[in-house]
Structure 1
């Protein structure tokens, strides 16, 4: 299945004794049950064609049917880019892959691995962006996102490779020269000169990033998620909003539909990630407001309304402070 499964398999099998507890029915410690356990069992299935013996206590279908599930899951896991890293991502992969199978079997399989059941997941309605959305300026495909590049629940810094057709003709000549000279300096182990050249590249709005073992010259973009406003970091649920956005985008390549630029120079964009419309997740989990001052889309209003009705996230409070009001109050205080 590739490096992702073999890496997780190795970690499961080499769990240290101090991680606590005896080995469970997956052959892993309680700390690694979940995504790692599923990865381990899929890896074992590819080698032995055997499914876990204890699974029969959790599902209703035959061993032959179970083998069919694991074959499908193995293929789906291999095709995922990147493979699931969180319990929610793994649960969604299982649910999507086995969507035509019995509910009792799907839920039993999820329970066997301690993964979230369908009822615990936010139900998403993503059908892909419209073909030619009104106001679209351009589209970007990013390199994998560094989790440290998520500033808060509605702002991300991303990089787009300069081999992208839109970027290729826009790279300043001094940046191109600096990238070549940096590579030569590194080959001669002149790392001080290489760092100096890289700093010039960074100051120009670019960076050399290592992707799959290769160095890529990439352009920096700061992205503001269109149509939502998440709590600021110092506000209630500000940290939760940031952590949720990190969970969604970390290590993934994003599809960005850019509509505008705000007064801070950020590209205002709809963000799509592995078949997920990121703004939908943030609104449905109650970790952002629909920013009606700048966006009138009815679906965003509906997603916020549903989260409010369920008391999810920040809507657990009766009257949560709106981030634009919070920012305005602090601006006024700073004037005095």
Structure 2
């Protein structure tokens, strides 16, 4: 594979494979048509490729680092070699940051941090080691599992929940699609072929009301079932709480554009599937706890590793633990309910 292909073959995962509703709103993308979560990786790849051709480093880099242009060129030369030799290029901000840190090990700390800041990549102190892998057999208590279509950033409402879609071509789903949904999907396709988009939109709304949706994935229309997921065993700050927005953004960075493996244990009172979530072999709950994006929800989960992961974040004082006394989300919700009852 050529150098250009080696640099950019990860890019389709950033936007081309992401599902959009046909005729619906699509996710807003940043410069170059790349989502914000992957813009830093794209920019780094572009600059490395440009350096391979021109031997020139980015002009604005000197504003972020203290070393000379000659030293900067040496960094990029090393990064080009590391990137080329990697089995696959980095696909997440963390993977890109690790590549930079490992390649420039021994260089000035201020320069490494400045280079990471230049591309908007995580600093060393915010990186976490991942220990848990995808289970080879279903853990006790799992009722069923499924694989999702790629997740859209807008489907993540907070730091412990996500809405996902599963293709009805999945054997588990295919036998349970209501007949009126199947008929509406066929009629909608026919209406779109006739360019009767008003009728097509009405039929799609009927499909949506039934808990399904037609998604466009790599230019193929897929009828998919909607599932709302509550990440089992963690409780993130509500979006109106301190660090609530940051926790949501952390989960977006982790899940956006990825197909998830979901292990469902049950259903909560809001009709959400309570589940363990894995993306690209990474356990989502582990990342959220280690990054200080959530509490271990001990009232509903007693897994010792969850307590250990939360303890790591507490000791490092990262995420919500940067505050000396963060409010527990379950206490915050209880207080809100009591105030509403008092008001009424």
SS of residue in 2 equivalent to 1:157? strand
SS of residue in 2 equivalent to 1:128? coil
Aligned residue number for residue 300 of structure 2: 294
Tell me if 1:72 matches 2:85: yes
Aligned residue number for residue 268 of structure 1: 274
Q: Calculate the TM-score normalised by the size of structure 2.
A: 0.76
Aligned residue number for residue 71 of structure 2: 57
Aligned-partner Cα distance in 2 for 1:177–1:40: 47
Closer, same or farther: CA 251–5 of 1 in aligned 2, 3 Å = closer
Which of the numbers 286, 289, 295 marks the counterpart of 1:280? 286
Aligned-partner Cα distance in 2 for 1:303–1:7: 29
1:311 deviates by 2.1
Closer, same or farther: CA 119–289 of 1 in aligned 2, 3 Å = closer
SS of residue in 2 equivalent to 1:152? coil
Tell me if 1:237 matches 2:249: no
1:59 deviates by 9.2
1:33 deviates by 9.2
Aligned residue number for residue 222 of structure 1: 228
Query: Which structure is richer in relative contact order (CA contacts within 8 A, separation 6 or more)?
Result: 2
1:7 deviates by 12
Unaligned runs of 5+ in 2: 15-30, 33-37, 58-67
Deviates more, 1:193-202 or 1:239-248: 239-248
CA contact (8 A) 1:55 1:109 kept: no
Closer, same or farther: CA 312–7 of 1 in aligned 2, 3 Å = closer
Q: Deviations over 1:153-210 (max 9, x none)?
A: 1111111111112111111111111101100000001111101110110010000011
Aligned-partner Cα distance in 1 for 2:154–2:334: 27
Aligned-partner Cα distance in 2 for 1:184–1:41: 46
1:144 deviates by 1.2
For 1:179-190, what aligned pairs fall within 5 Å after superposition?
A: 179-190=185-196
For 1:131-150, what aligned pairs fall within 5 Å after superposition?
A: 131-150=137-156
1:146 deviates by 1.3
Aligned-partner Cα distance in 2 for 1:122–1:252: 20
For 1:62-141, what aligned pairs fall within 5 Å after superposition?
A: 68-73=81-86, 75-77=87-89, 83-84=91-92, 87-92=93-98, 94=99, 103-104=105-106, 112=115, 114=118, 115-129=121-135, 131-141=137-147
SS of residue in 1 equivalent to 2:240? coil
Closer, same or farther: CA 62–217 of 1 in aligned 2, 3 Å = closer
Tell me if 1:40 matches 2:61: no
Aligned residue number for residue 35 of structure 2: none
CA contact (8 A) 1:285 1:307 kept: yes
Aligned residue number for residue 322 of structure 2: 316
Aligned-partner Cα distance in 2 for 1:209–1:129: 29
SS of residue in 2 equivalent to 1:91? helix
CA contact (8 A) 1:151 1:242 kept: yes
Q: Calculate the TM-score normalised by the size of structure 1.
A: 0.77
Aligned residue number for residue 334 of structure 1: 340
Unaligned runs of 5+ in 1: 9-14, 17-31
Q: Deviations over 1:216-271 (max 9, x none)?
A: 10000000000000111221111111111111111211111111111111001111
Deviates more, 1:325-334 or 1:224-233: 325-334
Q: Over the residues paired in the alignment, what is the CA RMSD in angstroms?
A: 3.4
Aligned residues: 300
Closer, same or farther: CA 140–40 of 1 in aligned 2, 3 Å = same
Closer, same or farther: CA 198–66 of 1 in aligned 2, 3 Å = closer
